[in-house]
Amino acid sequence: MKEAVVALAKGEAVHRDIGDSDPERMAAPMIADYLKAKEKDWNAAGITMEIVPVNETRHPLAYAVGRATETYEPHKGRVVYLTYTPEGPVDQTILLVGKGITIDTGGADLKVDGVMYGMHSDKMGGAMVAGFFETLSHLKPKGLKVFGYMAFVRNSIGKNAYLPDEILITRNGKRVRIGNTDAEGRLDMADILDEARLQAMKSINPHIFTIATLTGAATRSFGTLTVSMDNGPARLVKMAESLSDAGDMIADPSEVARIRYEDFQVNYPLSDWEDVMQFNDKPGATSNRGFTFPMGFMCIASDLDKHGCASDHPIPYTHSDIAGSAGGIGTLATGSPLRMVIAMKLRKILLVVGPMLTALPHYNWAMKHNPKLTAALGALHSLYVPIQVREMTSTKQKFNRLGLFQFGDKLANSTLAVSQGVAVYRDIGNGDPIRMAAPRIAEYLEERRAAWEAAGINMKIVEPNERDHPMAWAVNRAVKGPIDQTLLIVGKGVTIDTGGADLKINGGMYGMHNDKMGAASVAGFFEILSHLQPKGLKVFGYMPYIRNGLDKHAYLPDEIIVARNGMRVRIGNTDAEGRVILSDVLDEARQQALKEVNPHIFTIATLTGAAVKAYGKVARVRYEDYQVNYGISEYEDIMQFNTLPGSTSKRGFTFPMGYLALISGLSNHGLSSQSPLPYTHTDIAPSSGGIGTYGTGSPLRMYANRFILPRVLP
């Protein structure tokens, strides 16, 4: 078992090295170099290797796909042929053909609007074949002979690029009319699939497979799962179904589809000029049967359609589309091993984090305690059980013991404290709008009162009232010993956001119970404080929890509301409620800050859709972010919102901070004032998580690592 696990892991490593690396590091010649470095070990295991340049005669379709880059040596295409021959007699032969597009620009049918991002992963099919041979080199199974075919080319745009309407001739003489240059995967594989067909006719008990990130339709239909489909001879042995069953047993699930007559018919010629059409005039992702008819094309182009059940030489052929399952940029592996552990019902887990020997000195995340802390928090993220699952089912905990190898007491205790804070954050933030309505959040926090007070935290819970909070609770921490820093953290706590009178429609309300993540992060911060009790740091927390509902008493656009400090606010959009509920408590925080040592005010909120659409680590608030909130008539002092949705407004994620500074009086505490007050706003709309995911813990871990952990960890 151990040997098999190691062999699979090493095969996956090869798969990822090739498939996940960027298009320069794993351009076709560099993939060839990478595989050549394995040739000695592979030869010893019975694997032979041949690597040749893509050839216009031998591989005319793959050559056409890469034609735009053939004049640039670092990007020239390569075809890799691998053969594993076992010791002793052979009773089965499999022939694996993998798509190897090192980067897919779409070619002349250029991918636009950001769709090209992540297309370095379009070589995952070829990478999988290489990984399969790495596993073979370690396990050396008897009786199984394996052939591998991988054409690695770049689908680029340029003066020599192949074009729509062009007619290409396959290695077996078929005329192919190009319909869309962004359907290059089937061309990349067609000629080497014909070579595999010819080899299969000479082999014992053969079965051909193609593996490719081929169609968006597969992703739309099956999400993140592989979909496999059989030709007639393969369906007789139920290969796609047996692949699905095998995958289920090893946490690599797949679906099964069926290829039909119409998947061949759609590729038939439209004129005397061609023998086969490469593509129709619709994007594959929106075409009927968009993930099955490419297999029909490959059968016709490679002559495999002549090897059906009724032929003299039936050849089983199975196609696996991995467009949805292969992964991509931003795909995280953190939780996957833990999910497998959980599925295996292993209750005692040991987490071992090895040294990061290749990390460069400026990689702060890889230094000191950071890798262990991050890994442990990632493990605990996967092991978290949501509060409503704990309350409504028999599942209270996913593990009995989690061992942290060579962590040390301080780091282990700090890790536990942060994870407990994140659990509070998730309990509140992910709880549905009934379980975590404002009164029940109050009950939840009251359960922590004794432990928090023992740690020096004083808690006060009040109902919002028209005098103190006309537009929308407060917690403060008492510190023993001298104070050198004071934080005042204000979190948005909208328990469900319907949009109010400006009602969210067309499904926009879905997931809006997470609109309290800002306040949930404040509560989680105090949970961490209660365990670690850092010296010198005083913290005030403010969390207004309300529901933005719709009924006859709902607040309305054009309504003018007077804030606790007397400023008149004209409501522009009731769906911009977050800044409204923060306004008065932010003013309270401002007044408190004036009495404190070295204060810094923060607001944390799932505030704007514009933050989701924007990018970058840090944004800057400017004069115009204040100006857009100025009153436009004698009736109001400040405008709550303009007439555009926040996600489409210019600077839509910065001007709300301008509003908050104006309404709370913080705009009077700039650098040139007599009492400057530092104020930082964090918009967590993109980062806090949603339905189908646990609350990410953002920005709680960041705040804890900035203000708490440096005081308790060396």
The string of pLDDT tens digits covering residues 662-687 is 999 999 999 999 999 999 999 888 88
Tell me the sheet residues that pair with 457: 477
| Residue 172: pLDDT band with limits 50, 70, 90 | very high
Q: List b or e across 119-133, with b for residues whose CB sees 16 or more CB atoms inside 10 angstroms.
A: bbbbbbbbbbbbbbb
Residues 110-135: what's their mean pLDDT?
86
| Residue 335: pLDDT band with limits 50, 70, 90 | very low
In terms of Cβ atoms closer than 10 Å to its own Cβ (0-12, 13-18, 19+), residue 454 is exposed
> Using an 8 Å Cβ cutoff, are 191 and 66 in contact?
no
Counting Cα atoms < 13 Å in the Cβ hemisphere of 58 gives 12
Residues 362-376: what's their mean pLDDT?
82
- What is the predicted pLDDT for the residue at 452? 87
Among 550-564, 585-599, 636-650, which is the least confidently predicted range? 636-650
Asked whether this chain's domains 1-343 and 371-552+595-611+675-711 adopt the same fold, the reply is yes
Residues 558-580: what's their mean pLDDT?
88
Q: Which residue has the higher pLDDT, 308 or 366?
A: 308
DSSP codes, 378-398: HHHHHH---HHHHHHSS---S
Residues 554-571: what's their mean pLDDT?
88
User: pTM, whole model, 2 decimals?
Assistant: 0.56
Asked whether the predicted pLDDT for residue 471 surpasses 60, the reply is: no
> Using an 8 Å Cβ cutoff, are 461 and 572 in contact?
no
Asked whether the predicted pLDDT for residue 358 surpasses 80, the reply is: no
The answer for 500, left when phi > 0, alpha when psi is -120 to 50, beta otherwise, is: left
Outline where DSSP puts E strands in 329-464. 348-351, 401-404, 457-460
Distance CA 653, CA 612 (A): 9
- What is the predicted pLDDT for the residue at 116? 83
Q: Is 186 a catalytic residue?
A: yes
pLDDT digits (tens, 9 = 90+) for 396-411: 888 888 888 889 999 9
- What is the predicted pLDDT for the residue at 690? 67
Q: Which of 54-58, 495-499, 552-556, 566-570 has the highest mean pLDDT?
A: 54-58
Q: Which residue has the higher pLDDT, 354 or 644?
A: 354
pLDDT digits (tens, 9 = 90+) for 531-546: 999 999 999 999 998 8
Shortest CA distance to 291 belongs to which of 324, 268, 317? 324
- What is the predicted pLDDT for the residue at 466? 67
Asked whether the predicted pLDDT for residue 283 surpasses 60, the reply is: no
Tell me the sheet residues that pair with 351: 404
Q: How far apart are the first and last CA of the chain?
A: 41
- What is the predicted pLDDT for the residue at 332? 34
Distance CA 110, CA 164 (A): 12
Shortest CA distance to 292 belongs to which of 248, 260, 250, 336? 260
Classified by CATH at the fold level, domain 371-552+595-611+675-711 comes out as Aminopeptidase (3.40.630)
- Mean pLDDT for the chain overall: 86
| Residue 498: pLDDT band with limits 50, 70, 90 | confident
Distance CA 458, CA 481 (A): 16
Neighbours of 201 (CB within 10 A): 10
Query: 78, 186, 197, 492: which one is catalytic?
Result: 186
Distance CA 51, CA 151 (A): 10
Counting Cα atoms < 13 Å in the Cβ hemisphere of 56 gives 4
- What is the predicted pLDDT for the residue at 473? 45
- What is the predicted pLDDT for the residue at 5? 67
Distance CA 184, CA 118 (A): 16
Among 336-350, 575-589, 611-625, which is the least confidently predicted range? 336-350
pLDDT digits (tens, 9 = 90+) for 417-448: 888 888 888 888 888 888 888 888 889 889 98
Asked whether the predicted pLDDT for residue 648 surpasses 70, the reply is: no
Asked whether the predicted pLDDT for residue 613 surpasses 80, the reply is: no
Distance CA 55, CA 13 (A): 29
- What is the predicted pLDDT for the residue at 692? 58
- What is the predicted pLDDT for the residue at 615? 57
- What is the predicted pLDDT for the residue at 488? 96
Domain borders along the chain are 1-343, 371-552+595-611+675-711
Residues 201-214: what's their mean pLDDT?
95
Asked whether the predicted pLDDT for residue 9 surpasses 80, the reply is: no
Tell me the sheet residues that pair with 493: 545
Q: Which residue has the higher pLDDT, 38 or 19?
A: 38
Asked whether the predicted pLDDT for residue 98 surpasses 90, the reply is: yes
- What is the predicted pLDDT for the residue at 470? 64
Residues 654-669: what's their mean pLDDT?
91
Query: 25, 111, 390, 711: which one is catalytic?
Result: 111
Among 283-287, 356-360, 574-578, 605-609, which is the least confidently predicted range? 283-287
| Residue 650: pLDDT band with limits 50, 70, 90 | low
In terms of Cβ atoms closer than 10 Å to its own Cβ (0-12, 13-18, 19+), residue 364 is exposed
- CATH superfamily, region 1-343: Zn peptidases (3.40.630.10)
Helix, strand, coil percentages (3-state) for the chain, rounded to 5, are: 35, 20, 45
- CA quadruple 207, 213, 214, 219: dihedral sign: positive
In terms of Cβ atoms closer than 10 Å to its own Cβ (0-12, 13-18, 19+), residue 69 is buried
Give, as one character, the DSSP assignment of residue 543.
-
Q: Is 76 a catalytic residue?
A: no
Helices (H), 97-202: 124-139, 185-200
